[in-house]
Structures are given as C-alpha cells and as structure tokens.
Structure 1
Amino acid sequence: MRIRDQRAHDEPGIDLVPLIDVILVLIIFFVITTTFDVRSTLQLQLPVASAQQPAPPKTINILVNADGRYFVGEQEVLRTDVEAVKQAIAAVAGDDRELPVMLRADARTPYQAVVTAQDALAQLGFRRIAIATAPEPQS
C-alpha cells in the first residue's frame, strides 16, 4: 500500500511584486531624466512688416504659437485664460512694470490669443509692448 504525503503541493510561481517595483522605479527614472525642449520644436511663422527695430537687451518675451499656447520667458503657460497668463508674466517680470515686452505670435495664431496676451499685459500695467514681425521678402 502506498502512503501519500498529506502536505499540499506548492505550485511553482513567479512573485510579481518585486518585478512591478523594479518596473515602477525604472519608469520614474526615465520620466525624471528625460528632458523636454519645447522651444527647439516650436516653429513660428511671424507676420510680415516693412520696418523692424531691434529688441531692447532686457525684455520679457511672450510667444504665442499657432495653437494659441503661451510661452512666457522660458516657461510654458499651461492654461490659456487671462489669469494664468498674468501669473506667468508677473513671475517673470517681478515688480518692474517698465520692462519692455516683446510679443511674438505666429501668423496663424487665433486673434483672441493675441488679445488675451495684450489684455493680461494691460491689467498688469505694462505699457511698452512690441509685436515681433518678419521682414518683408526682397523682390
């Protein structure tokens, strides 16, 4: 007669918890170490004008791309409402409202996006606003 061992037979298996932990750490590492340089991929097509003056050396640069997204200085403004644009401009300008502002908008930008940027500047008290254009092509 054969006597069977009454112990339960363990099925071999792979414990997934350490594997998930390692994958999560790798994902976090790659997300943190990846740099996103939005400015290098931002292509602006400026409107054309006949005269162009050089920008003063210390200016606040505001870019509005063709999709209506705002970039103040080096930072992208995540929301497109006036309050968000005002906060971004105030963060870059500080207390100095006499700084000149260079507004660069793509020629395909919706007009409302440019008006929103100008409205935010006016509410903050900026009066020296220049709008960037491209020179006329030589014929």
Structure 2
Amino acid sequence: MSWLSNSPPYRGRFSLGVKSSPVEPEINLIPFIDVLLVVLIFLMISTTFTRFQELAITLPTASGAANQVEIKQIHIAVSRDGRFAINGKVTDRKQLSNQLNSIHTNKENDIQVSIDADARAPHQAVMSALEAARDANLSNIVFSSQSKK
C-alpha cells in the first residue's frame, strides 16, 4: 500500500476527495440578439401598410307616403346562361342596345332601368346590360335584389 500513496507519478492524476470548483456554463446572448434583429428586420420589410379610403356617400331615405310621380321603367332580365329579356321579350346582346335606343327616343327622359340579374349570371352579361343602357343615354339604373328570409 505504500507504493500508491508515496509514489510521485500518481500524485496529481486522481482527485480523491478533493473538490475542484465547478465551471458555470455561460449563455452567450449575442447570437440570439442577432437572430432576433434579423427576424425583426424581415417582418418590418415584408409588412404592407394599407391605407383605408372612405367614400362620401349619401344614403337614400324612405318615407311612408307613396310617390305621386309614376316613373317609367324598363326591366332588363339577365338569365343564368347570359341571355337577355327587355320587359319580358327575349333578345340578344346586339339587339339589346337597339331596343333600348328605340324605347328611350319614344318616351320621356326620366326612365328608370331595372336590371334583374340571376345570382349565377355571368359578370360580363350584367356589364353588357350596363353598357347597353349607357349607349342609350339612360343613367337612372337600379339593380334588383331579393332579401333573405
């Protein structure tokens, strides 16, 4: 046993009961801050700023009394497959403008055009009806709708 405790080559290799001071782990925050800054810059660049615009509109008011003036109306119906009818008579796009012109020249200027379009009617068909009314110089245009029950 004397050879273990007295021999110099084994003296510093083993720590028998001697406690060395523990090394505390340190957290390096600089790479973490760098990553957060990159993410912040990316979010700042990729964010779009929208500007809200408002329209100045005057809402219509309703009164309980019936209107004494009878307004002449033209009903343009647009079907689901894009066909047109003026006051119940089926017509095509080319004749639509001509018929609206003939109706407008025979009557007064206060004609109201009511566009009754199917909910699944093509957008182009409704725009064609609007263009035909514009070509006939009809500016009082309303759209019909059905309320949900």
TM-score by length of 1: 0.52
Q: How does 1:56-135 map to 2 (within 5 A)?
A: 57-77=71-91, 79-80=92-93, 83-95=94-106, 96-135=108-147
Kept in 1, the 8 Å contact 2:75–2:87? The answer is: yes
Aligned-CA RMSD value: 2.4
- Classify 1:135/1:60 alpha carbon distance in 2 versus 1 (closer, same or farther; 3 Å): same
Deviation of residue 124 (structure 1)? Answer: 1.2
Determine the C-alpha separation between the residues in 2 that align with 1:110 and 1:68.
6
The one-letter code sitting in structure 1 at the alignment partner of 2:76 is: I
Percent identical among aligned pairs is 24
Determine the C-alpha separation between the residues in 2 that align with 1:86 and 1:68.
15
Determine the C-alpha separation between the residues in 1 that align with 2:122 and 2:138.
22
Kept in 2, the 8 Å contact 1:62–1:101? The answer is: yes
**How many aligned positions are there?**
82
The one-letter code sitting in structure 1 at the alignment partner of 2:136 is: L
Determine the C-alpha separation between the residues in 1 that align with 2:84 and 2:136.
17
The one-letter code sitting in structure 2 at the alignment partner of 1:90 is: N
Q: Secondary structure at the match of 1:91?
A: helix
Stretches of structure 2 lacking an aligned partner (at least 5 in a row): 1-61, 63-69
Deviation of residue 97 (structure 1)? Answer: 3.8
Deviation of residue 58 (structure 1)? Answer: 2.5
Deviation of residue 57 (structure 1)? Answer: 5.0
Kept in 1, the 8 Å contact 2:73–2:113? The answer is: yes
Determine the C-alpha separation between the residues in 2 that align with 1:97 and 1:114.
23
The one-letter code sitting in structure 2 at the alignment partner of 1:88 is: Q
Deviation of residue 98 (structure 1)? Answer: 2.4
Deviation of residue 136 (structure 1)? Answer: 2.4
Determine the C-alpha separation between the residues in 2 that align with 1:116 and 1:131.
14
